[in-house]
Amino acid sequence: MALDKKNEQKISDEQLFLEGPRSRGKELYFAFKVFFEFINGFRKFHFLGPCATVFGSARFGEGHPYYEMTRKMGVELARLGFTIMTGGGPGLMEAANRGAKEAQGKSVGCNIAIPWEQEHNQYLDRWVNMEYFFVRKVLLSKYSFAFIVMPGGYGTLDEFFESLTLIQTGKIKKFPVVIMGKEYHTQLIEHINNMVKAKTISSDDKKLFLFTDNIQEAIDHIQITAIQQFNLKKRKVFKPIKILGEK
């Protein structure tokens, strides 16, 4: 599909990339932009230590029961020794980062540039602003030994199912995945049960996640299936090299 110059300026790089083949120079330029976005993320997050990633909606604000649940989860995860990683935005992402700070833990975010809900929250020790969703999802997975899924929308479910798919197919190790919010996620679990009945997934695939409203149950599960299983207490943490501009 042909695009005139005026309209092309209003369309994101990702939309243009998915229009199909373009000139070799434009394809190479896009590849370099992706490469440098990855490198920027690697440099920012290389020294974090083991992370727990919390997914959740940007639209549940302070005072909402899910905000308070997520905040408490952030506190307890930080007390286990995890760096709390989120998408960096408001709502439940903010709540998890806030809980981490209240527990004197580390708090980081991968903030995506979109026309709304794009400002990073105030509880981050460090963050990366990025343009590409697929780069963001890689970074949210790369450093994490546990994934906690709070109530959310399309983005949250996308991140949840991608994490499960990576674990199911052996692309990443069997890290714990916890879904919080039983009432909110009731129909999601029903649909997963329907997939088992239809044999599009196996009954064992349901064992890849814990479904609960109980924060202590979630923390105990993560303690066993992440900290003990992967011996995180003795895991090597890299140190910055000042001559490389690292900090």
Residue 102 lies in a domain: yes
User: Is 215:63 a contact under the CB 8 Å cutoff?
Assistant: no
* Number of CB atoms found within 10 A of residue 64's CB: 16
pLDDT score of 163 more than 90: yes
pLDDT score of 3 more than 50: no
pLDDT score of 64 more than 90: yes
pLDDT score of 159 more than 60: yes
pLDDT score of 72 more than 80: yes
Residue 6 lies in a domain: no
Residue 160 lies in a domain: yes
pLDDT score of 2 more than 70: no
Residue 136 lies in a domain: yes
Residue 98 lies in a domain: yes
pLDDT score of 9 more than 60: no
Number of domains in the chain: 1
Across all residues in the chain, what is the average pLDDT? 91
Residue 26 lies in a domain: no
The mean pLDDT of 140-146, rounded to a whole number, is: 96
User: Cα separation of 162 and 140, whole Å?
Assistant: 11
CATH number at residue 218: 3.40.50.450
Q: For position 141, what pLDDT does the model report?
A: 95
- Work out the widest C-alpha separation in the chain, in whole angstroms: 57
Residue 58 lies in a domain: yes
Residue 219 lies in a domain: yes
Q: For position 1, what pLDDT does the model report?
A: 37
Query: What is the tens place of the pLDDT at every residue in 13-45?
Result: 888 888 899 999 999 999 999 999 999 999 999
Closest by CA position to 127, among listed 145, 117, 140, 146? 140
Q: What is the pTM of this model?
A: 0.91
The H or E element that residue 215 is part of is: helix 215-222
The residue segments making up the domain with residue 126 are 38-233
Query: What is the tens place of the pLDDT at every residue in 166-201?
Result: 999 999 999 999 999 999 999 999 999 999 999 999
pLDDT score of 97 more than 80: yes
The mean pLDDT of 101-112, rounded to a whole number, is: 96
DSSP secondary-structure letter at 54? E
* Number of CB atoms found within 10 A of residue 66's CB: 21
